[in-house]
Every structure is written in C-alpha cells, then in structure tokens.
C-alpha cells in the first residue's frame, strides 16, 4: 500500500516560517511585491499549473512530486501534498487534461485524474522507458507543446563530449510513441516555452565548464522548426569554438543564440509573460531563472532576469529580481517561473524549499528597487572576451563581439552544467465550487470542520520545516 504524506500548513505557522527568509534583501522593480506562496517544499524545482489552479512541483535530490493547493484563493497555499516519493530525480512535471506527466531520469510517468485523488494518488502509468539512465544531466524539464506532443531533453552525460543520442531535445506522442529528435547540439536545457503568438519553441541552455570564469556564455535559443543544430560540442555561445571538438568546424555552421546569457549563471526555467497583471511592456517578454554558479571564482547568477524582444530579436537582457546572493553567500536559488491565471508570477527555490509569488500593485512605497543595472551596463559595452595566452589550447573565437558577464553555476547544477511584507494581490479570485475538482471540494468541507472544531486553529500547523543543506549533491 502506498503511503501519501499530507502537509497542512496553518496560516500562523506559515507566516512564522516565512519570516525567517530575508525577503527584504530582494531587489525588485518599483511597484512589485514578493511573498512566500508555499513552503515546506524541499528541493522545489520545475513547476506546472492546472487550469483549476493546482500547482505541481517536481524535485531532484528529494525524489518527490508535490501538489500545492490554495483553497481560498488568497494568494498563499493552504495545503502541500506529497503525491509521489522515492522517484529517480523527478524534476519535470507537465499537466494536461486531468493527467500529470512526470519525468524521471530514464522514464516518463503519467498520473491520471490526479486532482481528484490528491489524498490517495493512483499508481502511475509508465508511458516511456526510452531514455538513458545516466544521472549526469539526466534529470529532465518536460512540457507539452502546442502540438500536444511531450518535449523531453536528453542532456549531455559529461562536461563536453560527443555521444550519439544525447545533447538533444526530443519529442513524443502522449502515449509514448513516435519518439524523435527535435533539436540537436543542446548541451543541457532545463527550461523552455513556446512563443504565445508564433508558437515557436524557445529554450535556455547551459554552457560547458572549465574554460574560465567568463566563457562560454549560457544561451537563450529559438527553434522554429525541427532539425536545427545549436552547436554543442563544437561551438559554444555562438562564437567560441571548443578547443578539442571545435577543430575543423566553424561556429557559423550552427544556429547562434538569440541572446548570450551570463557564463555559468545556470539559466534554468523560462517563461513568456502572458498575464495582464504586470505593466504592458512585459507582455510576451521572457523571464529566466538563473540558478547560480557552482565553480566560478566569484559567484554570479542567483536571480531572475528579463530578456525583452522585438520580433525574434533580443534587445535587452537585464536583472529583474536579485538579492538571493549576498556577497559570496546565497540564501536562495531560483529554479523555475510560472505565470498564474491572475497574472502573478510563481518562482520556485530549491535551496530555501519554497515557492514565491510576485505581484504588481503599482505602489512603490516600501519596496527595495534596483538601483544598479550592472548587467545592462555590461551589455552596453561590447568587448571581446579575453583569451588566456597561457592556455596551451586557446579558445578559438570568430570576429563577433562577445560580452563578459559575471555568472555562475551551482553545486546543484554540477548536475545542471558540470562535466558535462506584502498583501495578496487584489486580483486573486474565488473559483466557484462547481468548477473545483472533487478533491478540493472535500478539502474545503474538511477545513470547515477543522475550523469549527479547533476555533480556527489548524491541528497540523506544527509540521516542522525540513532543513535544507547548503551543499547540493
């Protein structure tokens, strides 16, 4: 018999635990506010939302999949369900038509009618085992595309190598059939999305290590069609030939990135902003979670960045939220972003074990705004990346200007890149009970009983928060 653990977070205990995070250190654009949406989510990684508002969250080292419910739609989660545990790096989650798809290292699972069975999830259906078992870059971000196909990357099982069937984005039918390669030369993508207008695939990619602090760049790429090659392992960042695998190749043979991101920032989850809460200039622009470096001499990343587009061209790349990194110490590490129905943004943090909610109120009083757009200043200065003359195998570059940006990867991203006090938004809404899944209806009824019997005190509010280790496997 499967045992399912249910964490019921009382508002008083949640507020107490949330207050331990130094949210006041986060720098936000004027008019934005951030608060903890849900906590007690160890190793919270990739996310997906159901139409009814259930948030599904994968993990890596925790081996768990979570379902998070905000019953009263007040902008803070009421319940966190552990709907699966003991899985092999279940990083990726994707929801469609009542079913949750979960990616382990070497297989894809499907949990049917999951929202109706959060207390007692069904046994999963195994829809595919057609994936390598390598753990190096083996965890997967997955999403279902506009073509109703499941897109699943296969990361390079190394820092840099040439292995057939790896370093690619693949896709398959929802029943696991017709598995094919969609894009090649993709070292390790842990985040992608489709443009809301053109329906073209855009994705982040983590650059290789061990070429120095400032090369090569991470990438934001666009794949409008099947069959494109994005350079790995021959060319990195669109302009840096690999000192070993690049011999005999030229970078112009491969599709360059739309935007070079910081070297070693560990760019993970990305989404186009499709909501209406934020100001109009953010519509259809790209937000990226930069998890942070793991082996750079000076840490960088640990932030949310914004890439603004004009057509299919990037016109700026700037920090949007920073402050998780204080000096050389990080207290949080953003992994993924997700846009809610009301237009607010959710951000997962696998170090703090929480999901944040970002809202726009238009009120800048009391907010800590960014005063130093250092990244934009760097982008405005076109300079070539210095090549170390001491290197016996120098990095070969073409004549395109490159941008030197401090960035980094993380110990958690040694598997992502390595060898190989705010009020809820007024736009929060109540969903009529006739549109709520039966499980949530039951939750609402049970909560009324709990409230009436305990005077509003949640008897499960003393759940102890799991300590997160600073060092990641």
Confidence at residue 392, expressed as pLDDT on a 0 to 100 scale: 31
Dist CA 200 CA 179 (whole Å):
20
**What is the rounded CA–CA span in Å between residue 173 and residue 259?**
30
SS (H, E, C) 232-273: CCCEECCCEECCCCCCCCCHHHCCCCCEECCCCCCEEEEEEC
pLDDT of residue 365: 62
Query: Residue 19: what pLDDT?
Result: 58
Q: Strand 65-69: give its sheet, edge to edge.
A: 6-8, 79-84, 65-69, 55-57, 47-49
pLDDT in tens, 75-106: 999 999 999 999 999 999 999 999 999 999 99
466 occurs within a structural domain? no
Question: For all residues of the chain together, what is the average pLDDT?
Answer: 81
DSSP 433: G
pLDDT, residue 368, reads 64
| pLDDT of 462 above 70 | no
Lowest mean pLDDT among 106-110, 160-164, 382-386: 382-386
Q: Which range scores top for mean pLDDT: 25-29, 401-405, 450-454?
A: 25-29
> 299-326: per-residue pLDDT in tens?
999 999 999 999 999 999 999 999 999 9
143 within some domain? yes
Q: Residue 461 domain-assigned?
A: no
- The answer to whether residues 56 and 80 touch, using CB atoms and an 8 Å cutoff, is no
Task: Say what the alpha-carbon torsion angle 463, 464, 465, 467 is, to the nearest 10 degrees.
Answer: -150
In a domain, 465, yes or no: no
Are the CB atoms for 209 and 419 separated by under 8 Å?
Answer: yes
Answer yes or no: is 467 within a domain.
no
**Where does the pLDDT of residue 6 fall: very low under 50, low under 70, confident under 90, or very high at 90 and above?**
very low
Q: Is the pLDDT of residue 408 over 50?
A: no
From residue 228, alpha-carbon distances to 142, 173, 261 in Å are 19, 20, 20
Contact status, residue 169 vs residue 203, Cβ threshold 8 Å: yes
Question: Which residues span the domain enclosing 114?
Answer: 6-385+393-454
Look up the CATH number of the domain holding residue 365: 2.120.10.30
Write out the two tokens for 327.
């000096």
- From the list 111, 91, 38, the residue with the least C-alpha distance to 69 is 38
Residue 402, domain member (yes or no): yes
**Residue 473 maps to a domain:** no
For residue 171, report the phi and psi dihedrals to the nearest 5 degrees. Answer: -145, 155
Average pLDDT over residues 380-407: 33
Please check the confidence at residue 156 and state whether its pLDDT lies above 60. yes
Q: How many domains does the chain have?
A: 1
Contact predicate 415/273, CB 8 Å: no
Asked if residue 76 belongs to a domain, the reply is yes
In this predicted structure, the answer to whether residue 455 has a pLDDT above a threshold of 50 is: no
Please tell me the predicted confidence (pLDDT) of residue 470: 33
C-alpha 238/C-alpha 71 separation (Å) is 47
Average pLDDT for residues 275-304, to the nearest whole number? 97
């Amino acid at each position: 018999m499967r045992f399912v653990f249910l964490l019921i977070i009382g508002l008083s205990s949640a507020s107490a635990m949330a207050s331990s995070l130094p949210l006041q250190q986060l720098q936000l654009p004027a008019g934005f506010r951030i608060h903890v949406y849900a906590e007690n989510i160890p190793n919270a990684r990739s996310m997906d939302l159901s139409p009814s508002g259930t948030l599904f969250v994968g993990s890596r080292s925790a081996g768990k999949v979570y379902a998070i419910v905000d019953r009263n739609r007040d902008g803070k989660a009421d319940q966190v369900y552990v709907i699966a545990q003991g899985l092999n790096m279940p990083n990726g989650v994707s929801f469609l038509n009542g079913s949750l798809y979960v990616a382990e290292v070497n297989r894809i699972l499907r949990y049917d009618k999951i929202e109706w069975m959060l207390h007692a999830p069904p046994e999963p259906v195994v829809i595919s085992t057609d994936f390598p078992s390598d753990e190096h870059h083996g965890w997967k971000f997955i999403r279902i595309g506009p073509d109703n196909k499941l897109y699943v990357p296969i990361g390079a099982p190394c820092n840099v190598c040439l292995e057939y069937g790896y370093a690619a984005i693949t896709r398959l039918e929802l029943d696991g059939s017709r598995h094919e390669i969609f894009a090649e030369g993709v070292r390790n993508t842990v985040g992608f999305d489709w443009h809301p207008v053109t329906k073209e695939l855009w994705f982040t990619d983590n650059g290789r290590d061990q070429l120095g602090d400032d090369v090569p760049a991470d990438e934001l790429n666009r794949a409008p069609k099947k069959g494109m090659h994005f350079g790995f392992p021959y060319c990195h960042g669109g302009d840096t030939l690999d000192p070993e695998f690049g011999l005999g190749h030229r970078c112009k043979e491969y599709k360059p990135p739309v935007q070079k991101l910081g070297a070693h920032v560990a760019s993970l989850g990305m989404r186009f902003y499709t909501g209406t809460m934020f100001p109009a200039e953010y519509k259809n622009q790209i937000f990226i979670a930069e998890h942070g470096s793991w082996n750079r001499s000076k840490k960088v990343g640990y932030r949310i960045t914004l890439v603004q587009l004009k057509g299919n061209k990037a016109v700026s790349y700037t920090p949007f939220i920073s402050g998780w990194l204080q000096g050389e110490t990080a207290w949080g590490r953003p992994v993924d972003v997700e846009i809610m129905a009301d237009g607010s943004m959710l951000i997962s943090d696998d170090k703090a074990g929480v999901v944040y909610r970002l809202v726009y109120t238009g009120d800048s009083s009391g907010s800590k705004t960014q005063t130093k757009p250092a990244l934009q200043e760097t982008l405005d200065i076109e300079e070539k990346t210095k090549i170390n003359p001491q290197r016996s195998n120098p990095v070969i570059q073409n004549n395109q200007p490159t941008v030197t940006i401090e960035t980094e990867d993380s110990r958690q991203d040694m598997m992502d890149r390595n060898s190989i006090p705010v009020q809820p938004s007024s736009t929060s809404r109540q969903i009529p009970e006739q549109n709520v899944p039966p499980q949530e209806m039951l939750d609402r009824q049970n909560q009324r009983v709990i409230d009436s019997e305990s005077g509003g005190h949640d008897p499960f509010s003393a759940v102890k928060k799991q300590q997160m280790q600073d060092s990641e496997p």
